[in-house]
Each structure stands twice: as C-alpha cells, then as structure tokens.
Amino acid sequence: MDIAEPRSPGNPSEPNIIAVRAQRSDGAEARTRLLHTALRLFADKGFAKTSTRQIAQAAGVNIAAISYYFGDKTGLYKATFTEPLGSPRDMMPLFRQPGLSTRGALEAFFTHFLEPMKQGEMVQQCLRLHIREMLEPSSQWAEELMHDIQQPHAAMVGVLCRHLGLKRADDDVHRLAFSISSLAVMLFVNQEVIQTIRPSLIKTAKAIEAWTPRLIEEAMALIELEVRRRAAATQAVVPAPRTRKTKT
C-alpha cells in the first residue's frame, strides 16, 4: 500500500515522487490511530481550529494518510461521528423485523444504545464532540440531525403508534418517544456524575448491561401510563346518558 507524500512546496505543479511504503499489517492500525486522535482533537478544539497537520503529527503518521483513508478533513470529521461508537442508524434494521413487539423494540433500542458505554474514555470524547457540534454546527450537523436523530426517533414513534393503535402520531406520541430515548441519553450525559457517586454502576460491561432490563421496564411503565391517560381522556369526552325527569 503506497501513500504519496504531499506536493513539494518548491514545485507545486508536480507531484513529489517520494512515497511512503507502509506495511499492510500497519494499515488498519494507522487508520484507527488517525481516527482516535482526530476524535480527541476535534472534541477539544472543534473542526475549524483543528488542522490536518496537527492530527497527523499527534497520530504519528504522514499527513497524506488522511486523504488516503478518509478523503479529506471533512471525511475524517464525519468518520469520528459514525465509527468509534457506531451510529444510531445501525439499529434501524432491528426495527424492521416482522412481528416485532414493543418490548422487543425497546430491548433492541437500549441494548444498541448502551453498548458504546463499554468503551470508557472514548464515550466522553464522542459526547464532547456531539455537544461541540451542536454549539458550533458544521455541515455535519444536518446529517446528524437527519440520520442519527430523526430516523431512530421516527422508528420509535412507529413502534408506539402500533402499541397505542394509532394510525398517525400526535404530539403526545412524540413526547413519549423523546421521554423513552432520554432514559438512555441521560446515562451518557451523567457518566461523570455516576462515576463520582456510584462508579460500580458503570464500571464493567456486566454493570452496563444491567441497565437494559431496568430501562425497558421504566419505558414500558411510561407507555402504560400513556395508555391509561388516553383511555381516561376518551371517557371524559363521552357524554353521560340523559335521564328522564318524572312528573310529580
């Protein structure tokens, strides 16, 4: 595998004939090192203030490796969102299973959502990266909003509509979907707090997996509460039968 050096500053019209011969066994390692280094720097400094030269130097690779593996800086930035911890859109095939029950959908959602927490420090870096992207949005934010947020939300809304027997989602269904997803999101946001107060809750993979059945039960309770709320609202609008007055 050859990775060409950048063009020579002395003669920019001609490509430099020097090439870096990398061992095939080191290719995957170099790419991973680039990705993790870029994640850390982008999370700390943001997209605009992080240069490809800084990333390459920190990762200990030739700067041309960025274009070889990721195309350009934007491609590398995009990869930091989708590769280290996976993407929520990866769970979409799970929601398309025929006959999927509400509990089964919740189990698939929480299991997939909590799996990245097992990677420790990298989770915090990804969280900081997403928060920075929200505060300093780039072109990546539109894609994140469309694919990693809207699609899983729409899938959850579809599950809830089936459970509630609705043909079309109303505002309360969307509120319920956001409430359910927030159960998992808050674990990510509160990791440092949990680490300080009760570290055993997220210390091991087994401890993280123990959250899933609890979150499923909490989500099912929210759904059942919505079922009862709708039933009560329906009864409230049904007029009581009139009673005939008897003449005295």
Domains within the chain, CATH numbers bracketed: 21-82 (1.10.10.60), 88-235 (1.10.357.10)
Percent of the chain with pLDDT over 70: 81
- Look at residue 1 in the predicted model and tell me its pLDDT: 40
Contact 18, 5 (CB under 8 A): yes
- Look at residue 140 in the predicted model and tell me its pLDDT: 76
Burial grade of 134 (CB within 10 A; 0-12, 13-18, 19 or more): exposed
Entry pTM: 0.74
- Look at residue 3 in the predicted model and tell me its pLDDT: 46
Which residues, including other chains, have CB under 8 Å from residue 30's CB and lie 6 or more apart?
Answer: 22, 59, 61, 65, 69
Q: Could you read off the pLDDT of 59-94 as tens digits, one per residue?
A: 999 999 999 999 999 999 989 988 887 766 677 787
Q: Rounded to the nearest 5°, which phi and psi values hold at 202?
A: -135, 15
| DSSP alpha helix (H) spans, the chain | 24-45, 52-59, 64-70, 73-82, 92-95, 102-114, 121-135, 139-143, 151-164, 171-189, 191-197, 205-209, 211-237
Low-confidence ranges of the chain (pLDDT < 50): 1-25
Contact 110, 211 (CB under 8 A): yes
Alpha-carbon dihedral sign for residues 239, 241, 247, 248: negative
